[in-house]
């Protein structure tokens, strides 16, 4: 099990990806995102997850520059948005993201959603970027098993990561099992279900027992399920608290009780019915 913020999982191409990072979805461009990314890096985070559609890549880039931490010590993820999917447009979108971030390379580049009829061409562009050494790892986001099966039947390089909505109300066991079988690392977005799960009685009962917060219990549950997690916060105390999950362990029985909270309930869109 990971024992610190610097601990990594090894992706199937040998690249090491931190188990824990900061997500910046809905964090405002400018001072807010610069402040939260700098706070995270100052407190030991090395993984930052953004996306073209978040419109805050410039702020993330500025925070990286101002953090004083060497680029190669950090793990930066961004994503190609739906409107930019397709081969040439993806290559162009990548250059735009890279320019906004002010970086020479990206650690992980993801297809944000499985846009029907386009994601296989988009993937070809990601394979090119990977072969050209512009990105260290490539992957997908919000892909169901049938999307992954289709992609794998066309791909030359297997995705290294699948980032999905994942939390105790949406454990996506089928996707999890498939990714494990294929050696694709699962990553959780919205691990706290945008705060909805923080009042869950079962989680709070377990939290009390460990003298931890509900958020810490859920994030620890992610890690013990071998899922990379990237909670979002703009509050420095919360950023520190979220990461304080390496000094305790949930028992198998507690893990099961949290698994049993699943009700296949999403807070985000269903990839099969997303309005692309």
The DSSP string of 13-62 is: TS-EEESB-EE-TTPPTTHHHHHHHHHHHHTT--EEE--GGGT-HHHHHH
Whole-angstrom Cα distance, residue 169 to residue 110? 24
Report residue 276's pLDDT band, with 50, 70 and 90 as the boundaries. Answer: low
Q: Choose the catalytic residue: 45, 54, 119, 166.
A: 54
Q: Give the residue-averaged pLDDT of 90-99.
A: 98
Structural tokens at position 186: 């699962």
Could you report the per-residue pLDDT of 28-80, keeping only the tens digit for each?
888 889 999 999 999 999 999 999 988 999 999 999 999 999 999 999 999 99
Active site residue 54: yes
SS3 111: strand
Q: Is the Cβ–Cβ distance between 161 and 228 less than 8 Å?
A: yes
Question: Domain 13-259 in CATH: superfamily?
Answer: NADP-dependent oxidoreductase domain (3.20.20.100)
- Residue among 167, 166, 112 nearest 139 (CA): 112
Q: Please state whether the predicted TM-score (pTM) of the whole model is above 0.95.
A: yes
Spatial CA neighbour of 49 closest among 187, 165, 166: 187
Q: Of the candidates 128, 149, 134, which has an alpha carbon nearest to the alpha carbon of residue 103?
A: 134
* Helix, strand, or coil (residue 262): coil
């Amino acid at each position: 099990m990971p024992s610190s913020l610097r601990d990594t999982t090894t992706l199937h191409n040998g690249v090491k990806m931190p188990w824990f990072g900061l997500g910046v979805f809905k964090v405002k461009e400018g001072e807010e995102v610069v402040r939260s990314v700098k706070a995270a890096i100052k407190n030991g985070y090395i993984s930052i997850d953004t996306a073209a559609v978040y419109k805050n890549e410039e702020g993330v880039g500025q925070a990286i520059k101002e953090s004083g931490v060497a680029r190669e010590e950090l793990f930066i993820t961004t994503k190609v948005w739906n409107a930019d999917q397709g081969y040439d447009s993806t290559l162009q979108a990548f250059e735009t993201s890279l320019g906004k971030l002010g970086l020479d390379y990206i650690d992980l580049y993801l297809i944000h959603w499985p846009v029907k009829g386009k994601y296989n061409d988009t993937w070809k562009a990601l394979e090119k970027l990977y072969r050209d050494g512009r990105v260290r790892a490539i992957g997908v986001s919000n892909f169901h098993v049938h999307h992954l099966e289709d992609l794998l039947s066309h791909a030359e390089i297997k995705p290294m990561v699948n980032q999905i909505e994942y939390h105790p109300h949406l454990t996506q066991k089928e996707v999890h099992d498939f990714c494990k079988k294929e050696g694709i690392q699962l990553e959780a977005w919205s691990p706290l279900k945008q705060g909805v799960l923080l009042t869950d009685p079962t989680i709070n009962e377990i939290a009390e027992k460990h003298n931890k917060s509900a958020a810490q219990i859920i994030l620890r549950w992610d890690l013990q399920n071998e899922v990379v997690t990237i909670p979002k916060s703009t509050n420095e105390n919360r950023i520190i608290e979220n990461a304080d999950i390496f000094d305790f362990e949930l028992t198998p029985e507690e893990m099961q009780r949290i698994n049993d909270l699943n009700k296949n309930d999403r807070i985000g869109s269903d990839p099969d019915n997303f309005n692309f």
